[in-house]
């Protein structure tokens, strides 16, 4: 049985359709194997743009005895999928802008799926905006702390949704409304980081550009504090 990191387990368990999952950027193939072993998918199409990782994935799939349930394809994003072939698109371990590009490059694939499971390593608000602008609503989000780093995992399904407050795009309405413990921890770390930078700035004379930067940091600090207050209130409630 495959054992995944805390992050990858959280990613895998956001797959809810239990049909055909396309694991885009499958790397070593362990997530694909885990999905089958845990009954989270009936069939997996493991895809990667590079031959090296795909070959390693092929070896691991063969060792696991799951060659009938996991097929491997050399593919740039989702381009080697047939429209309607996959119920779930799973994309993790990439920056938010790259995830959006992968989705944008294959609209005929994306518009036929039942769910997207995404774990952007950066630019979280960019991904949330993209989903809302392209006919998806965010059904669930979770954050995990794995080896000292915070990771976001989101599940999106077809539907119309829009957040009225930019804070919800930055930190996630779902996480805020559920008083997510890991988000609170992340916000506390952000508070400390921002205060540290501002403390250093306070001890020296600032140029016009640095003064503008200080103002932006102070605004970000207020936003972080507001988000933390919302989260704590929801958690206590």
Q: Kindly report, residue by residue over 149-176, the tens digit of the pLDDT.
A: 999 999 999 999 999 999 999 999 999 9
pLDDT for res 203: 73
pLDDT reading at 208 higher than 80: yes
The structure's pTM equals 0.94
Is residue 147 a contact partner of residue 122, using CB atoms and an 8 Å limit?
A: no
DSSP 42: S
Confidence of residue 181 (pLDDT cuts 50, 70, 90): very high
Q: Per residue in 54-91, pLDDT tens?
A: 999 999 999 999 999 999 999 999 999 999 999 999 99
Q: Per residue in 110-150, pLDDT tens?
A: 999 999 999 999 999 999 999 999 999 999 999 999 999 99
pLDDT for res 206: 77
pLDDT reading at 237 higher than 80: no
pLDDT for res 195: 93
pLDDT for res 23: 98
Is residue 13 a contact partner of residue 40, using CB atoms and an 8 Å limit?
A: yes
- The 3-state DSSP class for residue 222 equals helix
Is residue 34 a contact partner of residue 8, using CB atoms and an 8 Å limit?
A: yes
Is residue 231 a contact partner of residue 175, using CB atoms and an 8 Å limit?
A: yes
- The 3-state DSSP class for residue 207 equals coil
Confidence of residue 235 (pLDDT cuts 50, 70, 90): confident
Q: Per residue in 22-53, pLDDT tens?
A: 999 998 999 999 999 999 999 999 999 999 99
């Amino acid at each position: 049985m495959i054992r995944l990191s805390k992050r990858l387990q959280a990613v895998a368990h956001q797959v809810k359709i239990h049909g055909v999952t396309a694991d885009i950027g499958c790397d070593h193939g362990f997530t694909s194997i885990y999905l089958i072993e845990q009954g989270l998918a009936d069939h997996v199409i493991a895809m990667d743009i590079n031959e090296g990782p795909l070959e390693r994935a092929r070896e691991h799939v063969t060792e696991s005895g799951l060659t009938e349930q996991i097929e491997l394809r050399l593919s740039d994003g989702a381009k080697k999928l047939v429209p309607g072939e996959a119920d779930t698109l799973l994309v993790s371990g990439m920056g938010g802008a790259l995830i959006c590009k992968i989705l944008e490059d294959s609209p005929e694939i994306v518009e036929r799926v039942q769910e997207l499971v995404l774990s952007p390593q950066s630019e979280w608000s960019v991904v949330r905006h993209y989903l809302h602008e392209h006919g998806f609503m965010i059904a669930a989000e979770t954050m995990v702390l794995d080896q000292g780093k915070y990771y976001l995992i989101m599940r999106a399904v077809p539907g119309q949704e829009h957040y009225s407050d930019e804070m919800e795009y930055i930190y996630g309405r779902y996480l805020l409304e559920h008083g997510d413990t890991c988000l609170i921890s992340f916000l506390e770390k952000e508070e400390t980081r921002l205060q540290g930078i501002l403390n250093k700035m306070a001890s020296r004379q600032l140029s016009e550009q640095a003064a503008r930067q200080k103002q932006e940091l102070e605004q970000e600090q207020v936003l972080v504090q507001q988000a933390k207050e919302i989260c704590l209130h929801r958690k206590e409630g």
